[in-house]
Structure 1
Amino acid sequence: MTTNWIQMSHAADFSIEASCVDVSLRDGRKHRVEIIEQEREIVLHAFVVKKAVVKSLPDLPIEIWKRNRSVSLVTFRIDRKSRLIAECRVPTPGLTSEEFQFYLRTIAIEADRLEFLLTGRDQE
């Protein structure tokens, strides 16, 4: 049985497009979160910065490692395309709409915050 994440994503600050949710943040900012359904969990991905930014910051892997040590819900990693992404794994048994929306907002806020710290802009 799959979790109906679309039904759980109905909130004023969410806009659903295909397998993604655009989360509206303060100050007119927004961040897109990709939804990947798996058995017994939903994986949330949010793009943070592109390859060029990652390559321009040689200490970024160490900084990401440090950040991952202090954050419990969202982890950051450099993917196969050398982009920085945020990831959150949401267990689906007993998942409520309020919990799922909390996860969506949390990954969007954390990804957007790190994007802004690294670039000074709202690109994604």
Structure 2
Amino acid sequence: MGYTTHVRGEFTIEPPLTWNEIKNSPFDHAANPRNYLAEDIDLFLRVEETSVDTAEGTLVRRTGTALAMREIDEYRERNLVQQVQRCIDAFPGHTFTGRLECEGEENTDIWRVIVRDGRAVRVEPRIVWPDEDGSQ
């Protein structure tokens, strides 16, 4: 046991990653599942498949459309921001949009991972009492 964090959300990737970009990536679970054990990577690229008819037959096109959290029952957050940044750095020329919502076991332990100007950033909320911010 230990302190766990629940993570939900994802980052969409524009333009989507091509198969050549993701096929050997440590973030691609389907093509390289052993990387998760070897490198302790908690994120994966969501890969979408579309069928395209060609003169030679049906072509399956795979693209990486999002970066998301793996399903982990009792996730112990370890360098999540750095993992998001590692993925951003691995794919220059692509924009990551969205966020990961993180909530720890304690009710005040809430934060997000966002991408600001190409950098993964941890953002924590500010709590302001209504009578102390000058509005009430």
Q: TM-score, normalised by structure 2?
A: 0.34
Instruction: Select the structure of larger CA radius of gyration.
Output: 2
Q: Identify, as 1 or 2, the structure richer in helix.
A: 1
